[in-house]
A and B are shown apart, each in its own frame.
Chain A
Amino acid sequence: MIIKTKKTIASSEITDPHLFKQRREIIKALLASAVSGSSISSAFAAREPDWKGLPKVDVLSKTEIPTPIKLVKNYTNYYEFTLNKEDSSHLAQSLKIDPWSVEISGEVENPLTLQLDDLLKPQTLQEYVYRLRCVEGWSMVVPWVGFPLASLLKRVKPLSTAKFVKFTSAHQPEAMHNTMLEWPYVEGLRIDEAVHPLTILAVGMYGETLPKQNGAPLRLVVPWKYGFKSIKAIVKIELLKNAPITTWNKYAGNEYGFYANVNPKVPHPRWSQNSERQIGSRFFTARRQTELFNGYGEQVASLYRDMDLVHFF
């Protein structure tokens, strides 16, 4: 589903051709091993070749150049592993993601527990070029590969009593050694936010399989909210009558609200949210003026029409 495409981005802008070549080699190797009878068989190996020329969903008002992939891979918050954004790229590699199943339950007619392959089979993957704005005051532009969350939720047939969606991350204590927060990580959305066409589940980025530090094998991306809402490594999706208690909100409710909509006019209690440092920018470059709803106001502002955004931050 293409929401609004003002200008598509040439794929050369997104991915280094050299990387494509490399990836082909990997795919070839994977296919070869499959032929030779080894048990490597994942949805990704079969699907990946198709991720090159995916239709693009680009709703940003002006065409944004994606952040270099190297930076996106090496600058991630993954508090289960470490508090350091640059250590998570190697520490997260100990996460076990094969096999992976996702439980979808709660206020639904048809609860399901799906293996990742089965979950992805009916979905049409697309590329979504979104800006990711972190609550810490930095942002990047990432071309995600994914599908709308709504089309997964349709499969379980939500009941009319389902008002909220709760997401739960994997908790693998043997690999996750940081105990600052209470694990597993939990996030939540209101049902209308969850079924909004901009809300996606991602399985890849830059035409590649999602790296572990970026949320493999399955993550949420809600582009108009601060990054911590876009939960990684999802194992459970529950539809609920009431708002779930989310991890950061529980840790410091006065600082991290349930909504966490990007809003330059609502500062964090300790720092301004007026501007953001774009990852990849050079020294002596001005910060970017942060936009209401991270620039997606045209699409999502109606969700909050009669709400006081200062109170429901």
Chain B
Amino acid sequence: MLLLILRESLNKPLQRLCSNSNAFKSLQLYLSDVNWKLLFYKCCKLRSLCITASLIPLFWIIIDILFDNLGGNPIQALHIRLGDWSMRFLWVTLAITPIQKITRWPGMSNYRQLFGLYAFFYASLHVLSYIWIDHALVWPMIVTDVAESSYIWFGVFAYIIILLLAITSPKSAKKRMGKAWKKLHRFIYPAAIAVIIHYFWQLKGNLLEPVFYAILIFILLAFRVAVWYKNRQLSRLMIPKGREIED
């Protein structure tokens, strides 16, 4: 879908870009030729499409509840599915920056926010289903369960971070927080690691699925490390130059 839109709005100018030899002129032509209006329009549509599509898992779960399709332990099945979807949306959120860097498409940070908020939405349902549907708000039992289940600690840690990120997600909050905003939102990385531990830590032996998600998150985080490393190399190259001038 995304690719299709990209191709549609960028293809024509790109062709011209290739055929023209004067780089500066072609760039000018390229920029003037991009159908910005169409691109914006399509993106708006894409955005609402993403908003609706992200609700499909929820409706799917509701239908499965209504048709008693959740198997022998529906409470656990519901709980696991909400958790799975929260994790998937978190992974998608973390995939936005690498995709943006690779495709150099600037309009994607909005999607990062959108999917991030969906990750928060499903995580909240996951927590709510644990407290209310599974434990029926019996607090002493919940407290004991959380205190004695180390795998839940990782889940709680991840949820607190995601909650803070969701609260500070509006643009106004971003403006008010200044540099602290970026610092806080970097906590999404430890949250993601906590999520994958939370997943692994509760299983008896069926590790195939968590391994799949662990590989995905490893790739997504490795991308950040690679970028950080590259930037460090660049800045290192620049330090000796500065010293030479001092000398």
- Write out the residue numbers on chain A whose beta carbons fall within 8 Å of the beta carbon of B150: 269-271
Question: Which residues of A approach B to under 8 Å, CB–CB?
Answer: 71, 74-75, 79, 83-86, 135-136, 138, 180-181, 251, 267, 269-275, 277, 279, 281, 283-287, 289
Give the 10 A-B residue pairs with the shortest CB-CB distance, closest first. Answer: A75-B72, A272-B148, A83-B206, A286-B136, A267-B148, A271-B149, A274-B144, A272-B145, A272-B149, A286-B138
Interface string of B123-159 (1 = CB under 8 A from A): 0000000001111101001001101111110000000
Beyond the given pairs A284-B132, A286-B141, 9 more chain A to chain B contacts, judged by CB atoms under 8 angstroms and listed by A's residue number, are A83-B204, A138-B73, A271-B149, A272-B145, A283-B133, A285-B136, A286-B135, A286-B138, A287-B135
Contact between A277 and B73, CB atoms less than 8 A apart:
yes
Interface string of B53-74 (1 = CB under 8 A from A): 0000000000000000001111
Contact between B136 and A284, CB atoms less than 8 A apart:
yes
> Chain B, interface size: which category?
20 to 34
Which of A83, A273, A286 is B205 in contact with, Cβ under 8 Å?
A: A83
Contact between A274 and B145, CB atoms less than 8 A apart:
yes
Given A75-B73, A83-B205, A86-B72, answer yes or no on A272-B138 (Cβ-Cβ < 8 Å): no
Contact between B72 and A271, CB atoms less than 8 A apart:
no
Give 20 CB contacts A-B under 8 Å: A75-B72, A79-B205, A85-B72, A181-B205, A270-B149, A270-B201, A270-B202, A271-B148, A271-B149, A272-B147, A274-B144, A275-B141, A275-B144, A277-B134, A281-B75, A283-B75, A283-B133, A286-B135, A287-B134, A287-B138
Contact between B76 and A284, CB atoms less than 8 A apart:
no
Inter-chain CA distance A179–B141, complex, in Å, is 36
* Minimum distance in angstroms from B86 CB to a CB of chain A: 19
User: What is the number of contacts between chain A and chain B, taking CB atoms within 8 Å?
Assistant: 75
Which of B76, B147, B205 is A180 in contact with, Cβ under 8 Å?
A: B205
Inter-chain CA distance A285–B132, complex, in Å, is 9
Contact between A86 and B206, CB atoms less than 8 A apart:
no
Contact between B202 and A275, CB atoms less than 8 A apart:
no
* Minimum distance in angstroms from A208 CB to a CB of chain B: 18
Which of B76, B148, B205 is A277 in contact with, Cβ under 8 Å?
A: B76
Inter-chain CA distance A269–B201, complex, in Å, is 10
Inter-chain CA distance A279–B71, complex, in Å, is 10
* Minimum distance in angstroms from A94 CB to a CB of chain B: 20
- Write out the residue numbers on chain B whose beta carbons fall within 8 Å of the beta carbon of A75: 71-73
Minimal Cβ-Cβ distance residue in A for B129: A283
Inter-chain CA distance A74–B77, complex, in Å, is 14
